[in-house]
Amino acid sequence: MAFDEVQFPTDISFGSKGGPGYKTDIIMGDGGAEQRVSRWSTPRWTFDASYGVKSAAQARTLLDFYLARLGAARGFRYKDFTDFTSAADGVGTPTSADVATGVGDSTTGSDGTATFQLIKKYTSGLQVITRNITKPVSGTDVVQVNGAAQTRGVDYNIDTTTGIITFTATNVPTTGQVIRAGFEFDVPVRFSEAMDEKLAISIDNYANRSAGAIGLVEVRDGIQTQDDFLYGGAAEQTLSEDKAITTATSRVFVFGPTTSGLAIQLPDPTSLAPGGPYFYIFNASGSNTLALEEHDTTGLATIGTSSMVTVILSQAADGTKVWYCF
């Protein structure tokens, strides 16, 4: 997803309301018995920060921030003042003993490191919910291994965009050593769908402003897609013989022809709607050209080495449909 590592203005978020929620399907029988199906194994946090907008300056800050995020398109950091540290109460000063993030096994990666994801645990009776912390606040982390304090930049490093601790090659935790950590953290969020349609700000008087609901929704793994994102997928392959493609196979093709003159044949356009682009065809070879042909093997174009063509479908005045590329 597109994400900006900037924090929502804290003077606006202070006093906001929100918290976690789940998605559960409840199926009710005629006799009143019900079946509940939990769709999410972990909750999603949502917030409303409208309470914090009181002045003209705050309203202007919110407007600038909203426009820079392109509405709901770009994610950002949000400080949840009810739960922003690893301390048991969610607001206390972090200590290195707060949360057990993993146990060493002496394993090293190809670069001689060991990594652990920051987490926070919520416990009620025998139930424990583990929350991955992906946006720790820079400079607030404290780490220990089997009770021994670790030094940031010497014993370990931490990625504040992912929440992953990486121990240096000479300090990889050995088998059975417990890694614990404390930290402050932000919640990765975006503006809600309703906010994407409109940011509502009211002029209460000369100096004061207020805002309608400022909905914020926690973002999980995902991506921001552009207007021309090709949902049909992509295919990459070595090409050793002529190949015919269809509209059902893919939208983006990356071919590596083994010799020059091999051909790609487009489908019969008779039943297809004019428009496009239908295909993007890239010749990944650095030495061999690629021929592009109509479905009846009529030559259409030559795709040079390390070059791409875009294919569209046009319709003439007599109704004939013709492939074009550029």
pTM above 0.95, yes or no: no
Q: What is the DSSP string of 254-301?
A: EEEESSTTEEEEPPP-TTSPSEEEEEEEEE--SS--EEEE-TT--EEE
Q: What does the pLDDT average to over 66-72?
A: 93
The label of the residue with tokens 């990486």 reads 166
- Predicted pLDDT of residue 152: 95
Residues 215, 197 contacting (CB under 8 angstroms)? no
- Predicted pLDDT of residue 223: 54
- Predicted pLDDT of residue 229: 61
Dist CA 107 CA 129 (whole Å): 27
Residues 218, 104 contacting (CB under 8 angstroms)? no
Q: How far is CA 225 from the centre of its chain?
A: 10
Joined tokens for residue 18: 């929100």
Dist CA 237 CA 287 (whole Å): 16
pLDDT in tens, 132-171: 999 999 999 999 999 999 999 999 999 999 999 999 988 8
- Predicted pLDDT of residue 249: 56
For 129-133, 206-210, 271-275, which range has the lowest pLDDT when averaged over its residues? 206-210
Residues in CB range of 118: below 8 A, 6 or more apart: 99, 101, 132, 133, 134, 136, 141, 158, 163, 164, 165, 181, 183, 185
Domains in the chain: boundaries: 3-23+38-81+188-218, 99-182, 234-325
Residues 11, 57 contacting (CB under 8 angstroms)? no
Q: What does the pLDDT average to over 269-286?
A: 88
Q: What does the pLDDT average to over 208-232?
A: 74
